[in-house]
């Protein structure tokens, strides 16, 4: 999986990477302040941002470790994304020509890692045979 991520990053232009980093920072600040109550007091983290080559769409992965109903929160964020985009435009308007359309997704990396750890812990692997055991 790391190889796939590296390939995706290598295919991104420098401009895409720069805009994605800018969006990651500024969206993080917007969500941290949450003056409009979009998150309803929930703790979320902007995990990753990827931008299309024409810089018109940004895919935002949000990590929600302690949130019980993740889909409801993502729906709530998506319903208010025009407000988020407007606030983002006020922050980055002089640095980019077009403020990208925002698409929010749940980032499941942490949950998948925990699930894999549990599976690995449950494996019953017999000890390797040493030189003494072979004779």
Would you state the pLDDT for residue 22?
94
| Domain ranges across the chain | 2-108
DSSP letter at 30 equals H
Question: What pTM value is reported for the model?
Answer: 0.69
Share of the chain above pLDDT 70, in %: 81
For the stretch 9-55, pLDDT in tens is 457 889 999 999 999 999 999 888 875 666 766 778 888 999 999 99
Of 34, 32, 25, 35, nearest to 58 (Cα)? 25
Q: Distance (Å, rounded) from C-alpha 87 to C-alpha 110?
A: 28
For the stretch 52-89, pLDDT in tens is 999 999 999 988 877 778 888 888 888 888 999 999 99
Q: Distance (Å, rounded) from C-alpha 88 to C-alpha 99?
A: 8
Are residues 21 and 60 in contact, defined by beta-carbon separation less than 8 angstroms?
no
pLDDT band at 4 (very low <50, low <70, confident <90, very high): very low
Q: Which ranges constitute the DSSP H helices of the chain?
A: 2-11, 14-33, 70-79, 81-92, 109-122, 131-134
Q: Distance (Å, rounded) from C-alpha 106 to C-alpha 99?
A: 22
Task: Return the CATH class of domain 2-108.
Answer: alpha beta
102 forms bridges with which residues in the sheet? 58
């Amino acid at each position: 999986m790391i190889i796939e991520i590296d390939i995706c990053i290598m295919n991104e232009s420098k401009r895409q990477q720069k805009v994605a980093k800018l969006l990651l920072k500024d969206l993080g600040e917007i969500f941290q302040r949450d003056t409009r109550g979009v998150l309803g007091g929930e703790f979320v983290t902007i995990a990753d941002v990827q931008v299309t080559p024409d810089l018109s769409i940004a895919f935002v992965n949000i990590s929600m470790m302690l949130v019980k109903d993740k889909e409801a929160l993502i729906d709530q964020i998506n319903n208010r994304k025009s407000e988020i985009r407007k606030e983002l435009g006020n922050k980055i308007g002089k640095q980019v020509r077009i403020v990208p359309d925002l698409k929010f997704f749940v980032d499941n990396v942490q949950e998948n890692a925990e699930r894999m750890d549990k599976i690995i812990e449950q494996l019953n692997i017999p000890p390797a045979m040493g030189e003494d055991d072979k004779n």
